[in-house]
Structure 1
Amino acid sequence: MNRDITDLKIGVLGGGQLGRMMLQSAIDFNLDIHMLDPDPKAPCANIAASFTQGDLKDYDTVMAFGKDKDLITIEIEAVNTDALKALQADGKKVFPQPEIIEMIQDKRKQKTFYKANRIPTADFILTENKAEVLANKDFLPAVNKLGKGGYDGQGVQILKNEADLEKAFEAPSLLEKLIDFKKELSVIVARNESGEVKCFPLVEMAFHPTANLVEFLFAPAEVSKTIEEKAYQLATDVINQLDMVGLLAVEMFLTQDDEVLVNEIAPRTHNSGHQTIEANITSQFEQHLRAILNLPLGATDLIRPAAMVNVLGEDGYTGNAQYEGLTELMELSGVHLHLYGKKITKPFRKMGHITLTDSDVTSLKQKALKVKEILKVKA
């Protein structure tokens, strides 16, 4: 950018919790941030320089929102990429680039990209409908993933045997070999227009057994240096092959044979990087802004070990959110609470997260388990 960054009018598609935390970093840089979101009570509604209620998937809405912006970015992939392409053709900066968002919106195209670029990933078969899934029953055990529309654990079915086949999707999807993994890992990697690339330290994740959402995250991941380097190289290869500008979350499997496979990618700030706000020199949100503004990327060093616990709405409760256990939670040392400004809770809705830091990894894990039991979101 030739102009001063404080003179730029920046538009963000999406006004959820990721946008809220991005805004908190943007305030430090005195950036002019404007948000578009379909929810009039979105977490960013009252704190952006301006907030527009509108459909992120509607061409005319996105065009109208972007026409007076200098730079446009996203906090969610479910956006109209044709409008973003048109805005880019009109001379607007759009990061990540629209064609990359479009590819990542479709898990089938994602997997095909990995295969074409020799990026290690689980074996897969593309399927058009349920009948084609049934015809490939010999491929089981497998994971059936919707090509488009899946989000936060939705659009994924585990098919272990023939009895599970009734859960297969009647839509274009993929059948991915079920991996017997030791750990689920993630690397957040950033790249600016100048081609500078930096990875955040590798983290490991534990998922909720029914909601299929990240429940715990630990940084650093407890793996060998060799595996760590494999993961960083893989994340770097993916963002360079994409020629992407921005922040990319690369979720990975560590197999029983110590191979590292790419599972999925997200072209934005990500749940697996929330701990960076307190635990790293630069947060993922600041790094995203640095990348899209073509500023030098910040140091990603981990200051001290950290855990992240997602605050999810309790099963069985829908309505005005009430937080039980807040006082007890805040008595613990090394605890930082982030609530996302969502008034209404429902089962497994992401209402916030808790970051914990501790110099002792064993103590950190014990504290993470304790925190999960203390704070409850009910209605």
Structure 2
Amino acid sequence: MAKDFYGELKLGILGGGQLGRMLIQEAINFNVNVHVLDPDKNAPCRNLCNHFAHGALDDFDTVYAFGKGLDMVTIEIEKVNVDALEKLEEEGVVVYPQSRVIRLIQDKGLQKQFFKQNDIPTAPFQLISSKENLANTAITLPYIQKLRKDGYDGRGVKKIVNQSDIGTAFEAPSLIEQWIDFEKELAIIVSRNDNGDVAVFPCVEMEFNPEANLVEFLISPSTLPFETQQRAELLAKKIAEDLQIVGLLAVELFLTREGQLLVNELAPRPHNSGHQSIEGNFTSQFAQHLRAIFNLAPGSTAIRSNAIMVNLLGEAGHEGLARYEGIEEILAMEGVYLHLYGKKFTKPFRKMGHVCIINEDRERAILIAREVQQTLKVVT
């Protein structure tokens, strides 16, 4: 960047949720002037940034006006107006990840076609324009239906097991993909700067909440064979280079029972699967994203210690002002680090915070994390 980091660089973040909040916490170390746009007037970033704008992320005029006076714009969520970002790019505002990358990743159908065109292994799939197309498909039951657009945090995904499920399928353009009998779900965070320097965080293993389809428990590092982890890391690096992305990219994968790696989905931003890096790695995913978009050398992705991340989700049956039970108990435990996201209201399965557990003994870290899961609750 032409400007230095002594308070001159104006960085805009589209989205003021927890990812933006943690990005700001890291941006303070660079002395960057941070502006945030979010549709929630009480967004977690509101009181942490230099300037907060209240407005819709998918509205052209709002996004364009927000970015016009800034040096650089980045995102913490993909659901943004890409046309406005393209216009800002044309007028000299740096947008990372690039608008073309965001446009591709906004559409799961385009993602799948990108995988196919670049020989990236993924589950067999078929694009469909409406629910009526499900009557005659090349993919046999059972399969997964995903909305092409606007699906996130477990939304926009249905499992179609039999013919009767087709009646409740999504009407909008979507894709169906073969149901994968996987052994593990994995994730890798990779960064790339404008010089083409690529850095890959070690592979992590994820557990999902079966009801909400959200990451609930993450283990770093993976204990899979070195060869499997190496294949996953090379695959993530290939995707970043094929995309020519600048910034951070989260790559979610399935490991099948036959040992095959299949790419599930991409996210061009800091991601839930990288939160453990704040305490568990020499460089956090948030610092790495800033290094990448500022075209600085990537930081070391090496692991400091075994790290377990527990997502803190709103309890079922509780909706309203958030209250946290068990904080005193979990903070008395060894190696426990609490991150609350500053959200005033809770609702079932809303991401309210996360906890990272660090321990040189992997099994001990997992046991403490399970205890944290049982003890810490978000209620009303």
Q: Would the TM-score normalized by the shorter structure come out above 0.5? A: yes
- Residue pair 1:157, 1:167 contacting (<8 A) in 2 also: no
Q: Provide closer, same or farther for how the CA distance between residues 318 and 295 of structure 1 changes in structure 2, counting only shifts above 3 A.
A: same
Residue equivalent to 1:296: 297
CA distance in 2, matches of 1:369, 1:161: 35
Residue equivalent to 1:164: 165
- Residue pair 1:307, 1:357 contacting (<8 A) in 2 also: yes
Q: Provide closer, same or farther for how the CA distance between residues 163 and 238 of structure 1 changes in structure 2, counting only shifts above 3 A.
A: same
Residue equivalent to 1:128: 129
Q: Aligned runs of 1:194-233 on 2, under 5 Å? A: 194-233=195-234
Look up the equivalent residue of 2:171 and give its one-letter code. E
* Percent identity of paired positions between Structure 1 and Structure 2: 53
Look up the equivalent residue of 2:74 and give its one-letter code. T
Q: Aligned runs of 1:42-121 on 2, under 5 Å? A: 42-121=43-122
1:161, distance to aligned residue in structure 2 (A):
2.3
Residue ranges of structure 2 left out of the alignment (5+ in a row): none
Question: 1:5 and 2:5 equivalent?
Answer: yes
Residue equivalent to 1:247: 248
CA distance in 2, matches of 1:129, 1:17: 34
1:164, distance to aligned residue in structure 2 (A):
2.3
Residue equivalent to 2:37: 36
Q: Aligned runs of 1:270-289 on 2, under 5 Å? A: 270-289=271-290
Deviation string, structure 1 residues 329-378 (Cα, Å, up to 9, x no partner): 11101100000000000000000000001111111221121111100100
* SS of corresponding position for 2:126: strand
CA distance in 1, matches of 2:85, 2:5: 21
Deviation string, structure 1 residues 275-310 (Cα, Å, up to 9, x no partner): 000010000000000000000000000000010000
CA distance in 2, matches of 1:329, 1:366: 13
Deviation string, structure 1 residues 44-94 (Cα, Å, up to 9, x no partner): 001100100011101000111011100110010000000000000001110
1:166, distance to aligned residue in structure 2 (A):
2.3
- Residue pair 2:139, 2:176 contacting (<8 A) in 1 also: no
Deviates more, 1:140-149 or 1:2-11: 2-11
Look up the equivalent residue of 1:238 and give its one-letter code. I
- Residue pair 2:218, 2:310 contacting (<8 A) in 1 also: yes
1:136, distance to aligned residue in structure 2 (A):
2.2
Deviates more, 1:133-142 or 1:366-375: 133-142
CA distance in 2, matches of 1:357, 1:138: 43
1:41, distance to aligned residue in structure 2 (A):
0.3
- Residue pair 1:125, 1:175 contacting (<8 A) in 2 also: yes
Deviation string, structure 1 residues 199-232 (Cα, Å, up to 9, x no partner): 0110000000100000100001120001001001
TM-score (norm 1): 0.99
Residue equivalent to 1:237: 238
Residue ranges of structure 1 left out of the alignment (5+ in a row): none
Q: Provide closer, same or farther for how the CA distance between residues 167 and 137 of structure 1 changes in structure 2, counting only shifts above 3 A.
A: farther
TM-score (norm 2): 0.98
1:135, distance to aligned residue in structure 2 (A):
2.0
Deviation string, structure 1 residues 252-275 (Cα, Å, up to 9, x no partner): 000111111100000000000000
Q: Provide closer, same or farther for how the CA distance between residues 301 and 168 of structure 1 changes in structure 2, counting only shifts above 3 A.
A: same
How big is the alpha-carbon RMSD for the aligned residues of Structure 1 and Structure 2? 0.9
Residue equivalent to 2:148: 147
Question: 1:175 and 2:176 equivalent?
Answer: yes
- Residue pair 1:312, 1:348 contacting (<8 A) in 2 also: yes
* SS of corresponding position for 2:69: coil
CA distance in 1, matches of 2:323, 2:21: 21
CA distance in 2, matches of 1:138, 1:11: 43
* SS of corresponding position for 1:41: coil
Look up the equivalent residue of 2:116 and give its one-letter code. K
* SS of corresponding position for 2:73: strand
1:167, distance to aligned residue in structure 2 (A):
2.8
- Residue pair 1:12, 1:35 contacting (<8 A) in 2 also: yes
1:163, distance to aligned residue in structure 2 (A):
3.0
Residue equivalent to 1:350: 351
1:168, distance to aligned residue in structure 2 (A):
1.4
Look up the equivalent residue of 2:284 and give its one-letter code. S
CA distance in 1, matches of 2:345, 2:152: 19
CA distance in 2, matches of 1:167, 1:175: 14
Q: Provide closer, same or farther for how the CA distance between residues 77 and 138 of structure 1 changes in structure 2, counting only shifts above 3 A.
A: closer
4+ runs deviating over 4 angstroms = none
CA distance in 1, matches of 2:311, 2:94: 33
CA distance in 2, matches of 1:161, 1:183: 25
- Residue pair 1:248, 1:267 contacting (<8 A) in 2 also: yes
CA distance in 1, matches of 2:182, 2:239: 21
1:31, distance to aligned residue in structure 2 (A):
1.0
Look up the equivalent residue of 2:5 and give its one-letter code. I
Q: Provide closer, same or farther for how the CA distance between residues 262 and 374 of structure 1 changes in structure 2, counting only shifts above 3 A.
A: same
For these two proteins, the number of residue pairs brought into alignment is: 379
1:137, distance to aligned residue in structure 2 (A):
7.8
Deviation string, structure 1 residues 96-121 (Cα, Å, up to 9, x no partner): 00011011001011001100111000
Deviation string, structure 1 residues 153-179 (Cα, Å, up to 9, x no partner): 000001122232223111100001011
Q: Aligned runs of 1:176-191 on 2, under 5 Å? A: 176-191=177-192
